[in-house]
Amino acid sequence: MPLRTAGAAATLTLLAGLLAPLCSACATLGLEGTEPPHSENYTVSENTQLSVLAGDVDGDIRVEAWGKDYVQVTWTRKTTRGKDELEKAEAIVTQSAGRLDIQTRRRADDARLTLGYDIKVPRQVTLARVGAAAGRITIEGTRGDTVITARSGDISVKNNSGYLDIAAGEGKLRLDGSIGGARLVTADSDIEVSNVDGDVKAVTSNGRIAVSGGRGDVSLETSGDGIRVSRLEGTVLLARTTGGPIEISQASWIEALETSGADIQAEIGQVGPGGTTIRVDDGSIRLYINSEVNADMQLVARSGAVAIASSEAALFLAGEFATQHFKGRVGAGGNMIYAQTSRGDISVYGMEP
């Protein structure tokens, strides 16, 4: 198939006929009708900005970087309502200097079909925006600061380079092996982040948040499940939840942890300039403190007990001990560790460096 070259703006309407149905009753029976995939290729200049917007038409979108020097756009329409239904949405590709825009256009308000995309792009193309109605979004190996949105459906991004602004009304968000940081927001599902180089802010109204590996500071909030952070070369600026436990291990620093309905378990290897503050409304706190840490420390269990337990390493503590309170220092003292629970216990353990 010939390549379509850049230059003056050119708009191509991507439509194709449906193969003849096997029987006239297919639509009535609800049998799925699917067009063969259609592909078009487009030559692009370096740093061309690509956007993919599905509008109000459902369908999966996949964008993947490859080693060729042109963009390949493949689209497929599906319906369960017969041949005529396929004509109620179309794919429009508009190309101009430095831009390639792919857009789904609904041609009838009562359209009942999906139009999905499989798009391959050169590595020097900048992915500017991807928007879906209902459907999965999968992105791999692209570059550029990218805005990604979906009304509903999972979003997965892997090995991209550039800042990501990702939002889903409903759907799981996954980010893996990316460079540049991200903001991730979903209303009703989990968020998973692994091996990301850059600062991350993640917010979900009803789901779990898990961060593993990577370098950068994180701010994490959920109202419906727990938070877990492990192997982070960076600061947990905030981990806040109202409906689940918090577990932090092998993070460089912890600034603030808050939950109102579960336990918190945290490893403290260092205490940063802003100190470490941990608050629980209804649950217990378990702190594992590196034996080489030097910090001031105040522990308050308003309706429970404070216990300094033995573990792998001894902690050198000095200060005022009471059943529900400790105020003093670890080692030589320094930046503050403050932990408080309204209903629960606080346990402190030593940890080998």
Position 258: which residue type? E
Q: Name the percent of the chain lying above pLDDT 90.
A: 76
pLDDT above 50 for 19 = no
Tell me whether residue 291 is in a domain. no
Lowest-confidence range among 66-75, 83-92, 102-111, 304-313?
304-313
Tell me whether residue 207 is in a domain. no
User: Residue 108: which pLDDT band, with cuts at 50, 70 and 90?
Assistant: confident
Range of the domain at 115: 1-135
User: Residue 312: which pLDDT band, with cuts at 50, 70 and 90?
Assistant: low
Tell me whether residue 203 is in a domain. no
**Furthest-apart CA pair in the chain: how many Å?**
86
The pLDDT score that the predictor gives to residue 180 is 97
Tell me whether residue 264 is in a domain. no
Distance (Å, rounded) from C-alpha 293 to C-alpha 280? 23
Tell me whether residue 63 is in a domain. yes
Tell me whether residue 57 is in a domain. yes
User: Residue 32: which pLDDT band, with cuts at 50, 70 and 90?
Assistant: low
Beta strands in 135-208 (DSSP E): 137-140, 146-152, 155-158, 164-168, 173-176, 182-186, 191-194, 200-204
Tell me whether residue 71 is in a domain. yes
Average of per-residue pLDDT across 296-316? 86
Tell me whether residue 148 is in a domain. no
User: Residue 315: which pLDDT band, with cuts at 50, 70 and 90?
Assistant: confident
Q: Count of domains in the chain?
A: 1
Position 111: which residue type? A
> Which residue in 12, 9, 30 sits closest to 21, CA to CA?
30
Average of per-residue pLDDT across 284-293? 95
User: Under a CB-based contact definition with an 8 Å cutoff, are residues 18 and 35 in contact?
Assistant: yes
Give 148-182 pLDDT, tens digit per residue.
999 999 999 999 999 999 999 999 999 999 999 99
**pTM over cut 0.85:** yes
Distance (Å, rounded) from C-alpha 177 to C-alpha 180? 10
The pLDDT score that the predictor gives to residue 28 is 35
Give 204-232 pLDDT, tens digit per residue.
998 999 999 999 999 999 987 999 999 99
User: Under a CB-based contact definition with an 8 Å cutoff, are residues 35 and 77 in contact?
Assistant: yes
Distance (Å, rounded) from C-alpha 157 to C-alpha 114? 22
